[in-house]
A and B are shown apart, each in its own frame.
Chain A
Amino acid sequence: PVSVSRVAAAVATSSGRSYTTHSQLPEEHQMIYEMCRKFADEELAPNAGKWDKEHAFPTEAVTHLAELGLMGINVPGEYGGSELDALAYAIAMEEISRGCASVGVIMSAHNSLYLWPIQAFGTHEQKEKWVAPYAQPIKEDGTLNVGCFGLSEPGNGSDAGAASTTATLSDDGTEWIINGTKAWITNAHESSAAVIFATTDKSLKHKGISAFIVPLDAEGFSLGAKEDKLGIRASSTSNLIFDNVRIPKDNLLGNPGDGFKIAMKTLDGGRIGVAGQALGIASASIDCAANYALERQAFGKPIASLQSIQNKISAMSVARDSSRLLNWRAAMMKDAGEKYTKEAAMAKLAASEAATMCSHQAIQVLGGMGYVSDMPAERHYRDARITEIYEGTSEIQHLVIAGDVFKEYKG
């Protein structure tokens, strides 16, 4: 049985207020919610279908996102960021992704996976060089500094500890030499820098993995071909190929052997972002289905009056609302400085399953119209699917959650 004193301790140490609805949010979170929502409605949703069809990186929209401060959302002001908290990030991710899920993943990979680990584990010099120009990513010539994150490899995804990419210190000790391939990298084709993980000491197994910051204009670096994906097609996904790529010794992030820990901590926060993206897709699906049901007539009345449609809309709303609460909880715990690994995993697991369920049912509500590209339901269905896979498959999330739950019982 769970020790009562443990439960009491958990309640006592959580600080700050808890918010469960948009109307309860503090003023600036409400303003961020409204601004992102308006931007998504006016600039993202009307173009998302076109970007998806053309597999086109929406440079103008991402530039506009950067102008609004959304590409450095959690970075402190001294490094050019917007200094907002995890709750604001979760809210912004949902609203932006509701407009376009591809723009959502571009934003989340850049913020959670590239900027966060350097901000959390980097030296002041590393932050000046690799965070500041990426938190305010619009260069003088108007082009963007985008970052990416390379953990997965062709030979290992879930088995992150088996990293076969290597980093060897040069003979004179001034450079690391990177060899290997990273797979499934979001933003690969638009990025100028990457946080990657490589084995520095194979004998230590996962404790022998280190994290590095790699400028992607380095000699020996090349990109793989863009993957032809089912969804989130406006974001680029490809391999990063390192063939004797030399980087300065100072590009080691954290200490040697810290890589696995850095990766896991990064993914905790990244899961809040991906949960936000999944929630956006779920919400867009509900919006699409509910609006359609109120207009479409069958048997002399709008199909919204039919119980089977009502049951679907209700189930979709419960799935979306409950996973949003899980995500806000994880974000608020992160902001309060509490350990939030289990809660972030629960949020990502629930939200991604909600996204697939809601988009599946949205197509069902729309009937034939759900199957054609005239309506966005089919795109939401295709976009949703990846959320159960990346940043930790649902199966991995189950392991993370169960591991923490059993730990509590073992006491």
Chain B
Amino acid sequence: VKMSMNPFCEIAVEEAVRLKESKAADEVVAVSIGPKQCGETLRTALAMGCDRAVHVSTDLRTDYMQLQPLATARLFEKVVESEQPDLVLMGKQGIDSDAGQTGPMLAALLGWPQATFAAKVDATGGDGGLVVERETDSGTETVTIPKLPAVVTCDLRLNEPRYATLPNIMKAKKKKVDVMDAADMGVDLTATNEVLEVYEPPPRKEGIIVESVDELVDKLKSEAGVLQ
């Protein structure tokens, strides 16, 4: 099965590379947890401009069926302890499980401030902090993180990820990828939640045209159940 980088993670990589290009960051390390194919997605991250990569290797399913967000966050916690970054950028959620939990859980485990669903990240304040605009259902919220380190998760409108240029694809070959086994990192990887059932929502029923307002109110009461 051909695997590709989670789209929100791609946005996180792009933002990290831009922070390096604007000199706000010195080094960008790409990290991925998963099977052998992670090697390819990490190479893509390197070709986009990351300096080196860490691959936490596991054959456990990472789509919530085996390796779940809390264990994932604990693995990232170990990587953070060894790498000591000032900022962790992640996608807001993985499009396989759509859980959206790993980022907030990692911040909590580390005791770090967090800003999720970032649509804009501003590191230009010069005060060692960040101003983040967050996407919420009711509009954009601006959050200030006074001091790093912090965790920021990235949303769709944050940026448009670049294509890897040919020279960068060639340079990526020479960049370092460290591989470590998830089983050796002292983290309990067993699932804490059990997936009971996965099913599709019922197909959306066709709408109907009603003849009068009275008929509409009647249907809202008796069929849609939204009026008493």
Which of A's residues lie within 8 Å of B, judged by CB?
Answer: 27-28, 30-32, 34-35, 38-39, 67-70, 73, 77, 82-84
Asked whether B163 lies within 8 Å of A73 as measured between CB atoms, the reply is no
Interface pair A69/B172, CB less than 8 Å apart: no
**B167 contacts across to A, CB distance below 8 A:** 69, 77, 82
- Indicate if the CB atoms of A67 and B165 lie closer than 8 Å: yes
22 A-B pairs within 8 Å (CB atoms) are namely A27-B43, A28-B170, A28-B172, A28-B173, A30-B40, A31-B44, A31-B47, A31-B169, A32-B166, A34-B44, A35-B47, A35-B164, A35-B166, A39-B163, A67-B165, A68-B165, A70-B166, A73-B166, A82-B170, A83-B170, A84-B166, A84-B170
Chain B interfacial positions (CB closer than 8 Å to A): 40, 43-44, 47, 163-167, 169-170, 172-173
For chain A, what secondary structure do more than half of its interface residues adopt (helix, strand, loop), or is it mixed? helix
Q: Which residues of A contact B169 (CB under 8 A)?
A: 28, 31-32, 35
Docked pose: A103 CA to B157 CA in angstroms: 30
Whether B165 pairs with A31 at a CB distance below 8 angstroms is: no
Shortest 10 CB-CB contacts between residues of A and residues of B: A69-B166, A82-B166, A31-B169, A68-B165, A69-B165, A69-B167, A35-B164, A28-B169, A35-B163, A39-B163
Give A393 Cβ to nearest chain B Cβ, in Å.
Answer: 32
B163 and A68 within 8 A (CB):
yes
What residues of A have a CB within 8 angstroms of the CB of B165 in the complex?
Answer: 67-69
Q: Which of A30, A31, A38, A67 has the most CB of B within 10 A?
A: A31
Contacts of A70 in B (CB 8 A): 166
Q: Chain A residues near B164 (CB, 8 Å)?
A: 31, 35
Interface centre among A27, A73, A83 (most CB of B within 10 A): A27
Q: In the bound complex, how far is the Cα of B131 from the Cα of A54, in angstroms?
A: 45
Complexed CA–CA distance, A204 and B218 (Å):
98
Report Cα–Cα, A39/B169, bound state, in Å: 15
Asked whether A31 lies within 8 Å of B163 as measured between CB atoms, the reply is no
In the assembly, what is the distance between CA of A20 and CA of B207, in Å?
Answer: 52
Shortest distance between the CB of B113 and any CB in chain A (Å): 35
Write the chain B residue with the least CB distance to A22: B2
A32 neighbours in B (Cβ, 8 Å): 166, 169
- Which residues of chain B are within 8 angstroms of A39 by Cβ–Cβ distance? 163
Closest to A92 in B: B166
Apart from A28-B173, A70-B166, 19 more pairs, CB < 8 Å: A28-B172, A30-B40, A31-B44, A31-B169, A31-B172, A32-B166, A35-B163, A35-B166, A38-B163, A68-B165, A68-B166, A69-B167, A73-B166, A77-B167, A82-B166, A82-B167, A82-B170, A83-B170, A84-B166
In the complex, how many angstroms separate the beta carbon of B19 from the nearest chain A beta carbon? 21
Query: How far, in angstroms, from A94 to B170 measured CA to CA in the complex?
Result: 20
Contact of A27 with B40 in the complex, beta carbons under 8 Å: yes
Q: Which residues of B contact A35 (CB under 8 A)?
A: 47, 163-164, 166, 169
